[in-house]
Structure 1
């Protein structure tokens, strides 16, 4: 039944999603030109708030839970599992106070309304997966910006999306690279549930009525111990929620 209703609701969802992207393309441009980083970031936050309504058009709900208060006076590396592109707008909106930046494929910086513009100007790292030197350099620059501005990063540590909700091992490379430039960063695990179910039939014909859940877990202090241990601790914390 979810599949059938999802097929019926998918056109409405896609219309709303891309309508918001098209509307906010010029809004982002004007915000950046007239108000700089702060105004541009505000426009991106608001855009992602409106993108959430396209989830509701599928009958999907969004639940975001923070188990502890997080500091705003130091960088944070949010370490999450990754299930679909539907992970991203809620994370941007609900973590907006922490200036969370993404590490994205450089291919996404072109030809996608609003998304490409934000990736080029939002302060994240856009990496070429075929060029390891470029990728490491971009992540190091992100770490420098995090350290300077108390920004945060959000890393999908599996390295790719899970198509069935089952987690893959977390990779340490990007996290370790950021810590080189932002050694005072705190690691915070984030568990994402059920967004893979929306796209299990593909990106065109979506599934309906799934509760998409985000749980921000207890922070991990990486200072004074091998970063591999901190990443493994984050992985186990996320897995305890996702695969419970």
Structure 2
């Protein structure tokens, strides 16, 4: 890594936590004093994602938004190559969505309150009755009109290759009856591989696929649905990129 690239990577590494805290504070300020709704608040994390991408020298392009119907909730389901996926999606996926996050994050001072103000969905990853209640509540929020993003692999891929999908996201999709949207994130593994901390400049492509209707699936078919979604995401990854700008 050249000296200039190294300097920029170190600067980005130092600024990410600062920008995250600053965005959280601004979110709470507008939420408390100006009564901003969760929908209005989304402009703040979107700016957060974009400024981190631009500081990193990363260009993000999005394809396939024409597959979506305005005003309809979706469960966007993407491969997970890198921690940078979050910045790219938050900054450049121009749809109104929320993250599903483990409940422990909502207890983090300032950051957790900002997540609540933004309407993010709390998920209990423990086993048992409380976990099922958490999934039911998440499914209801989604069915009522809140789009979300999930990473069905459950963790970042160590080599950038697509891993098997877990069934948890399928359970929420079937419970809510909301379509799953296959989505491919291409390029983030080279920018920030799992286990690395210094970002490299590069290009990212987010490809949105055709929604998969879930209202005809029952819970016994959750693994079948996971396989169908996996095949759709794999197909998007393998498709040659379109030419031109978004």
Gaps of 5+ in 2: 240-246
Provide TM-score, normalisation by structure 2: 0.81
Measured after TM superposition, the shift of residue 9 of structure 1 is 1.4
Change (3 A) 1:192 1:17: same
The root-mean-square deviation of aligned C-alpha atoms, in Å, is 2.7
Asked whether 1:216 is paired with 2:208, we answer yes
Change (3 A) 1:106 1:63: same
Change (3 A) 1:47 1:223: closer
Change (3 A) 1:15 1:218: same
Residue 174 of structure 1: aligned partner = 169
Change (3 A) 1:132 1:93: farther
Match of 2:139 among 118, 136, 143: 143
* Contact 1:14–1:54 (8 Å) recurs in 2: no
Measured after TM superposition, the shift of residue 88 of structure 1 is 1.6
SS in 2 for 1:68: helix
Encode CA deviations 1:48-93: one digit per residue, 9 max, x unaligned. 3243222222222111222524123432111111122221233234
**Counterpart Cα distance in 1 of 2:32 and 2:110:** 17
Residue 54 of structure 1: aligned partner = 52
Aligned residue runs from structure 1 range 120-159, under 5 A: 120-148=116-144, 150-159=145-154
Measured after TM superposition, the shift of residue 47 of structure 1 is 3.1
Residue 98 of structure 2: aligned partner = 101
* Contact 1:123–1:142 (8 Å) recurs in 2: no
Change (3 A) 1:5 1:166: farther
* Contact 2:61–2:204 (8 Å) recurs in 1: yes
Change (3 A) 1:163 1:118: farther
Aligned residue runs from structure 1 range 1-244, under 5 A: 1=1, 6-36=5-35, 38=37, 40-95=38-93, 97-98=95-96, 100-111=97-108, 114=111, 116-148=112-144, 150-180=145-175, 182-183=176-177, 185-200=178-193, 202-204=195-197, 206-225=198-217, 226-242=221-237
**Counterpart Cα distance in 2 of 1:95 and 1:53:** 14
**Counterpart Cα distance in 1 of 2:57 and 2:72:** 37
Change (3 A) 1:107 1:235: same
**Counterpart Cα distance in 1 of 2:228 and 2:42:** 32
* Contact 2:50–2:92 (8 Å) recurs in 1: no
Provide TM-score, normalisation by structure 1: 0.82
**Counterpart Cα distance in 1 of 2:82 and 2:110:** 19
Aligned length: 236
Gaps of 5+ in 1: none
